[in-house]
Amino acid sequence: MLFERIPDEFGALVALEDEAPGFERIGKYRLERVIARGGMGIVYEARDPVLRRKVALKVLRRERCSTEALDRLKREAGITARLRHPNIITVLEAGSCESWETSYIALEYIEGRTLSEAVLEEKTPLTRMVESVARAVAYAHDRGVLHCDLKPSNVLLERSGRVVLTDFGLARSMPCEASWEIVGTPAYMAPEQAAGELREIDERTDVYGLGALLYETLLRRPPFEGKTALEILGQIRWHEPPGLEAPGSGAAEAICRKAMSKEKSRRYPTARAFAEALSEF
């Protein structure tokens, strides 16, 4: 599930009124503002009146509440709930709201910003943050889970310094089913994912995604850009990420180049191996 994060100054009640006319609550949660929105759903900052704490409430749009969408949301909740790691978002509850005819996931609320925002705002290296994400991904892999949508906007940086991997909406249990449709964010897809070679998707697909994260922290732009998704997917399959061509470019670039190899066999074999390479940098 792809979401556009909304800066605090724009996520006010006027946006809430547009997205949830006539509703101030979903289940027990009081809606306060829109954090992010996507084609399938909306993420609200909400308040749990029982435990008196903020939560991030991920809600399906009513017009998109198909059986497939509901199954995907339940799968996301189930997969995320079984991953208990300090660098992975925590699921608090999953439920449905009859009055709004939708379903939701309540997640821990992270005070901070996305890695996308940090890339634009920071001038210092962000490799340690990518290493933390890689160790979280390695933990998920150990438990048979592929993330399949690693990108800077799915990484949250808490004000305390904690790095949190979020949005397991496209995650799959290994091995991936042959019937899985091509979904993801084009600029960060691995070649086998972009080509629809579903049987080829494994841990090294996420290693490529980690390389794409590292790329954006190094060069301050996505690995591939284009006017259309098809143009970007073609670049992923047939071209190297610009700026990494020179074999003599720095150590971090070499790590990135290996992780983003077109051939899976030339990438780091695991997310943990990628993290170890970064830790030595």
Annotated catalytic residue, options 48, 149, 167, 206: 149
170 phi and psi angles, rounded to 5 deg: -110, 5
Q: For residues 218 and 101, give the distance between their C-alpha atoms in angstroms, rounded to a whole number.
A: 44
The helix, strand and coil proportions of the chain, stated in percent and rounded to the nearest 5, come to 40, 20, 40
181: which 2 tokens? Answer: 């449709």
Other C-beta atoms closer than 10 Å to the C-beta of 14 total 11
Sole residue written with tokens 């660098």: 87
106: which 2 tokens? Answer: 């309540």
Sign of CA dihedral 25, 5, 271, 69: positive
Q: Who contacts 265 (Cβ-Cβ below 8 Å, separation ≥6)? A: none
Q: Who contacts 198 (Cβ-Cβ below 8 Å, separation ≥6)? A: 176, 177, 178, 179, 180, 182
Is 149 part of the annotated catalytic residue set? Answer: yes
Q: Who contacts 97 (Cβ-Cβ below 8 Å, separation ≥6)? A: 26, 27, 103, 104
Sign of CA dihedral 191, 196, 201, 207: positive
Q: For residues 168 and 43, give the distance between their C-alpha atoms in angstroms, rounded to a whole number.
A: 14
Q: Who contacts 50 (Cβ-Cβ below 8 Å, separation ≥6)? A: 28
Residues marked active site are found at 149
